[in-house]
Structures are given as structure tokens and as C-alpha cells.
Amino acid sequence: MKEEIYTIPVMDGFKEDCECPFCAMKRTLEDNTINYVLSPSYMEEDVRGETNDKGFCPQHMQRLYTEGNALGLALMLHSHMKAQHETIDELLKDSTAPKKRFGKKQTETSPLWQHYEHLLHSCYVCERVEEVFNRYLTAFFMLWKRDAEFREIVKNCKGFCFQHFIQLYELSGQHLKGDMLLEFRQLISSLQTENLKRVEDDLEWFTLKFDYRYKEQPWKNAKDALARSILKINSQWADKSTKK
């Protein structure tokens, strides 16, 4: 089965000691995609065609820029820029003056505006990560169904970020049935409640440590509570910033 190769990164994600194994998977996937984009892969016609067309969201452009491969990025962007320049020139040539001059709203968007929307919402890295990540989710349920050892690992993880918890809960309806579905949903719900409570308590203790009355008290597990809370709330972004 094709999904078989995706079971390894899923296992690796659960081996990481973090607030969401799926965020860990996504972060590795994102790192690999960034490295891939900056590698000589840009010379491959199909990859270049895709990066020329989709470009990058601001977050990933920033990542690419700070990665330190100036030549790799410049070569790719040169190609992307030329392709976009040509496309926009073509669209400008085809654009005609608006027909309705007074009062009425224009209901149809022009091809130039459609292209703007496309540029605004497309990103080669985001789309590639999302595509592979969806396969990881399928692989997760495949492992869940057949591997008792894996189920134990999941039961002992630290829960998930909000986004991945909801995704997992909703998707389970497509992959599991009957008692197995019920058990799974109950399990991840109590796992999530228990672990949110843990992080909430840590965060509360973090705030109390600013109070002079608790100044001399130990930090307990609260030192990195802020970064871990951001991860629970906002997915993998915060974890990246706290990665050692």
C-alpha cells in the first residue's frame, strides 16, 4: 500500500517529546520541503513550473531567505519573477476598460484580479506540506487500526494542538467505525482534556511567578509554559521558535 512509506514519519512524530506529535511531523516536513526547494531540484522542469506559478506565502519566503542559500533562492526567484512578469503583461494586454461606468457594482472579477487572488493564496511550500501531511493522517489511522504498540504510544503522548485535535477527531469518522470509532474519540478527548489542563496549570504558575509572593517558589514545569501554550493554541509555529 502506498501509505506504508508515510508510517515512518508518523512514528517519528510520536517519538518526539512535544505538545503535539502532528506539529512535530509538520515541522519536519516543512524543513524538508524548504531544503528541497533550495536544492538543485529547482532545475527540474516540473518543480520550477510549480514554483513559478505558485510562488510563496510571506512566512515561507522569509524562511527561504533566512536559510542562507542565496544562490539557490536567487536562481529560483529569477525564474519565478520572469514567469510572473510575463503572465501579468499578458493579462494587462487582454484587459478591457470596464463596461459599466455608473453606479452599478461590477460583479465579475477580471482575470487580472483573479490572478491577484491566486498569488495571494498560493504557496508551493504550504501546498506541498498539506498534500503530504494528509497522507500522514491516513497513515496514522492505518497504524492505529493494526498496531497495538502504536496505540500505546498514542495513549501516552501529551495530547495535540487545538487544530490537530479537531482534525483528528473529525477525520476518525472516515477511517474508523462502530466501537473502534467511539473508543478512539473518547480516548483522544480525555487525553486532550488532561493535557490541556496540565499546560493551563503550567501557564497559570508562570503568571504567578511574576507575583512577588511566589518569587522564591520553584518554577516547577512553568519555565517554557508560554511557548508550549502557544503551540497548543497556534500549532507548530511556536515550537519552531523554541527549538534548541
Alpha-carbon span 64 to 42, nearest angstrom: 13
Q: Would you give the binding string for Zn ion spanning residues 194-213, x where CB under 5 A is met?
A: --------------------
Is residue 34 at the binding interface for Zn ion, with CB under 5 A as the rule?
no
Q: Which residues contact 180 (CB under 8 A, 6 or more apart)?
A: 145
- Which of 164, 188, 195, 205 contacts Zn ion by CB under 5 A? 164
Pick 18 or 222: Cβ nearer Zn ion: 18
Least CB distance to Zn ion at residue 138 (A): 17
Q: Is residue 181 within 8 Å of 188, Cβ to Cβ?
A: no
Q: Which stretch binds Zn ion (CB under 5 A): 22-30, 103-111, 145-153, 222-230?
A: 22-30
Alpha-carbon span 143 to 192, nearest angstrom: 20
Taken in order 66, 71, 73, 74, is the CA torsion positive or negative? positive
Least CB distance to Zn ion at residue 6 (A): 17
Is residue 23 at the binding interface for Zn ion, with CB under 5 A as the rule?
yes
Size, binding site for Zn ion by CB under 5 A: 11
Q: What is the DSSP letter of 157?
A: S
Q: Which stretch binds Zn ion (CB under 5 A): 36-44, 80-88, 97-105, 159-167?
A: 159-167
Is residue 154 at the binding interface for Zn ion, with CB under 5 A as the rule?
no
Q: Would you give the binding string for Zn ion spanning residues 94-123, x where CB under 5 A is met?
A: -----------------------------x
CA angle 151, 12, 32 (to 5 degrees): 145
Q: Is residue 172 within 8 Å of 140, Cβ to Cβ?
A: no
Which of 145, 157, 218 is closest to 184 using CA atoms?
145
Contact residues toward Zn ion (CB under 5 A) are 20, 22-23, 57, 60, 123, 125-126, 161, 164, 235
